[in-house]
Amino acid sequence: MRAFLLAHGLLLVLGSSAFGQSWTPPTPAQRCPSKWGAADERGAANHVMPASVLRAAQLIRTGEIIELGRVLTATMPLFGTRIFDLTTKRTNGPLGANKRYSNEEIVITELGQVGTQLDMLSHQGIDGLFYNCVPIDSVATRTGFQKFGVEKLGTLFARGVLIDVAAFKGVDMLSAGYEITASDLQGAMAKQTLSLSPGDAVLIHTGWGRLWNTDAARYSGPAPGIGVGAATWLASQDVLLIGSDTSSVEVSPNPDKSLDSPVHQIALVVNGIFLLENLKLDDLAGKRLHEFALIVEPLKIRGGTGSTVAPIAVH
């Protein structure tokens, strides 16, 4: 709880509009145990309860589904050395008098971390420690993590909110390296007459997704996204997850050159808040659909650090 208070305190001191601010990870004493308890492995997913699911379901008024997942291919943008390799295993047949043919495929990929994907708590650490200060070494095995595996998560079904920062800034696409601030988020929400509640799923539209199919190299390079200030503010709003139409949600590179993807730590390690990356948000933004039921069904990969997903917005 101290960590949570500290995060608030930090916010108050620095203000929510700070740009490129530095950040020092809270100490174990400051951030552990987490607000969900010392033994918790699900972080903000604890927000997903029948009452909140029911509230989200009541946002379904037309039955229209908007698909937010990207098509998975070998040539999609992939971070670093990740791969998505699919080999068809075709035509086992004809079998039986009914001349059955059967096809399948072998797929090789960083299944938790490619395409549209959700980051689980075992994805990130601070100085050798996970969320709730569990030492990475103590739970790592060759075949997954004994704690914080994505199979612990379950479906995320929540009120979803689209914050269209690109529209707020009057551009099709924010520029590479643009840091979205807490003021940007607050301004866009005011324009959209939206407010946040604990347990909401926040999706941030930057427009960067238009590069997905046209320029994989640029897509995977420096990109716009939230910085330390915005992440800290969103954490203070007690959200379920933060998603975006970029590969890491956060501004890349961070304006403070000494920091390496600090938003991943603020979200996953300090606050147990999930990141949802590489979303396809153009339809949602084009329809100006800002409030909806968000449904994300992570694969139950035992010990996995995340999951490729195909989430939907329904309204």
**Of 235-274, which residues contact its own copies (CB under 8 A)?**
258-262, 264-265
| Min dist. Cβ of residue 81 to its own copies (A) | 6
Does 223 sit near its own copies (CB under 8 A)?
no
Q: What is the DSSP letter of 12?
A: H
Judged by CB under 8 A, the residue of 21, 34, 52, 247 near its own copies is: 52
| Min dist. Cβ of residue 170 to its own copies (A) | 31
In the shown chain, the binding pattern of residues 87 to 116 toward its own copies, with x for contact by CB under 8 A and - for none, equals: xxxxxxxxxxxxxxxxxxxxxxxxxxx-x-
Judged by CB under 8 A, the residue of 16, 35, 46, 55 near its own copies is: 55
Q: Which residues contact 178 (CB under 8 A, 6 or more apart)?
A: 206, 224, 225, 251
Cα 140 from Cα 290, distance rounded (Å): 39
Closer by beta carbon to its own copies, 113 or else 186 = 113
Check: CB of residue 286 under 8 Å from CB of residue 50.
no
Question: How many residues interact with its own copies (rule CB under 8 A)?
Answer: 102
Does 218 sit near its own copies (CB under 8 A)?
no
Q: Which of 123, 77, 72 is nearest to 310 (CA)?
A: 72
Does 86 sit near its own copies (CB under 8 A)?
yes
Closer by beta carbon to its own copies, 165 or else 230 = 230
Does 302 sit near its own copies (CB under 8 A)?
yes
Check: CB of residue 137 under 8 Å from CB of residue 145.
no
Judged by CB under 8 A, the residue of 39, 49, 138, 195 near its own copies is: 49
List phi, psi (to 5°) of 254.
-70, 140
Judged by CB under 8 A, the residue of 29, 142, 193, 214 near its own copies is: 142
b vs e for 30-68, b when ≥16 Cβ sit within 10 Å of the residue's Cβ? ebbbbebeeebbbbbbebbeeebbeebeebeeeeeebeb
Site for its own copies in 168-207 (CB under 8 A): none
